[in-house]
Each structure stands twice: as C-alpha cells, then as structure tokens.
C-alpha cells in the first residue's frame, strides 16, 4: 500500500514537473516572439516611434530620441535572450513590462486614453486602456514564472513547449489585432 502511494506521488511529481517545464518554456516562447515582433515593428515604424514615446509625456524632450533609438534593439535582444532558459532574460523582460505598464497606467490616471500605446503589434493604432494593463499583467506573470523556474527539460518536452508557445503567440497576436480593430471601429463611429 505504501509503495503504491509512493509510486503515485512520484508519477504526480513527474507530471507536475513536466507541466511546469512546458508552461515555463511556452511562456518564454510567447514572450520572445512578442518582444522580437515589437522590436521589429518599432524599427519598421521608427519615424513614428519618437512621436509615440513623446505622447506619453513622461520623458524630457531631449531623451525621447535616445529612447526611440535604444528601445527597438533592447526589445530584440530581450526577445532573443528569452530563448535561453535563464532567470536574467525573463527578469529583463519583466522590467521592460513594468516600465511599459507604469507608463500606460500613469497616462490612464491622467485621463489620456486617446494616445497610441506604441505597441505596433497590430500595425493599427491602439489606444491606451485597462485592457492593455491586463495584457501586460498576464505577460508579467509569465515573465515571473520564467524567471523563477528556468527549466532545462528533455528534447520532446522542449519541442512540445515551443509549439505551444508559438500557438499562444499567434493567438496573442490575433487578440491584439481584434483589440486594435475595436479601437479603429470606435473612432470611425464617433465621426
């Protein structure tokens, strides 16, 4: 009886460990693709990025061009670094997400919802809102899990996690496009 309970406990621990490994790695892939895509889009729309950052009214005007030049490569490096299971890359991603979220919340509390978030992830203008704060909170939780549990699973689990992360990334992008389209539709109906 004790041997059976012990073997069931080991099997449960293995499943729990596999679930932790898959979810942590899938989260890393989701964060990685999010940061890489955001960095690429910010490079693609570099001419608009300075204006978007300036619209937040959080930085002195002299720092806006510097930040607009540094942010895209920083997001790209963070996205690539997330593919290596270490706590530091996830911690860096979490710090960026906290900065972005503080900027959004600050402007929402000031009543400045009309400005573009600067995410450039849907190629459509996306106004600030509490939905973006919620989205960032979920991404921050994923970054925290990845930072706290830098796992090195077997290859089969790694492949499953990467596939799950890629599917999650596609779903994440679809939700962003829907949210941006909702903002665009609202602005059209308001005219």
**In the chain, pLDDT over 70 holds for what percent of residues?**
76
53 has pLDDT over 90: yes
Domain boundaries defined on the chain = 19-190
For residue range 70-88, what is the model confidence (pLDDT) as tens digits? Answer: 999 999 999 999 988 778 9
Our CA angle for 16, 174, 120, nearest 5°, is 110
Q: What is the pLDDT of the chain when averaged over all its residues?
A: 81
Residue owning tokens 């693609």: 44
The pTM for the full model equals 0.74
Inform me whether the pLDDT recorded for 2 exceeds 50: no
Residue 108: its pLDDT value, please? 96
Q: What is the pLDDT of residue 58?
A: 94
| Each residue's pLDDT tens digit, 129-150 | 998 999 999 999 999 988 887 7
Give me the torsion for CA of 179, 63, 71, 128, rounded to 10°. -10
Contact in structure between 158 and 29 (CB atoms under 8 Å): no
Average pLDDT over residues 51-60: 93
SS (HEC) of the chain? CHHHHHHHHHHHHHHHHHHHHHHHHHHHHHHHHHHHHHHHHHHHCHHHHHHHHHHCCCCCCCCHHHHHHHHHHHHHHHHHHCCCCCHHHHHHHHHHHHHHHHHHHHHHHCCCCCCECCCCCCCCCCECCHHHHHHHHHHHHHHHHHHHCCCCCCHHHHHHHHHHHHHHHHHHHHHHHHHHHHHHHHHHHHC
- Tens-digit pLDDT profile for residues 134-191: 999 999 999 998 888 776 666 666 677 777 777 777 777 777 667 666 655 666 666 6
Residue of 19 and 38 predicted with greater confidence = 38
* Predicted local confidence at residue 110, as pLDDT: 95
CB 86 within 8 A of CB 147: no
Mean pLDDT, range 39-60, rounded to an integer: 92
Maximum distance among all alpha carbons in the chain? 73
pLDDT per residue as tens digits for the range 121-131:
555 677 899 98
């Amino acid at each position: 009886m004790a041997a059976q309970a012990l073997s069931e406990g080991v099997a449960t621990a293995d499943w729990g460990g596999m679930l932790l490994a898959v979810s942590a790695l899938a989260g890393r892939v989701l964060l990685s693709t999010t940061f890489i895509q955001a960095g690429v889009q910010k490079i693609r729309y570099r001419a608009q990025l300075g204006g978007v950052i300036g619209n937040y009214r959080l930085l002195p005007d002299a720092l806006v061009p510097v930040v607009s030049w540094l942010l895209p490569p920083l997001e790209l490096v963070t996205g690539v670094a997330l593919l290596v299971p270490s706590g530091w890359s996830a911690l860096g991603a979490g710090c960026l997400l906290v900065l972005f979220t503080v900027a959004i919340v600050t402007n929402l509390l000031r009543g400045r919802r009309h400005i573009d978030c600067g995410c450039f992830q849907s190629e459509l203008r996306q106004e600030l809102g509490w939905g973006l704060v919620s989205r960032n909170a979920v991404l921050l939780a994923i970054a925290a899990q990845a930072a706290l549990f830098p796992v090195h699973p077997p290859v089969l689990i790694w492949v499953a996690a990467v596939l799950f992360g890629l599917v999650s990334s596609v779903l994440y992008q679809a939700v962003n496009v829907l949210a941006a389209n909702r903002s665009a539709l609202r602005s059209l109906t308001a005219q």
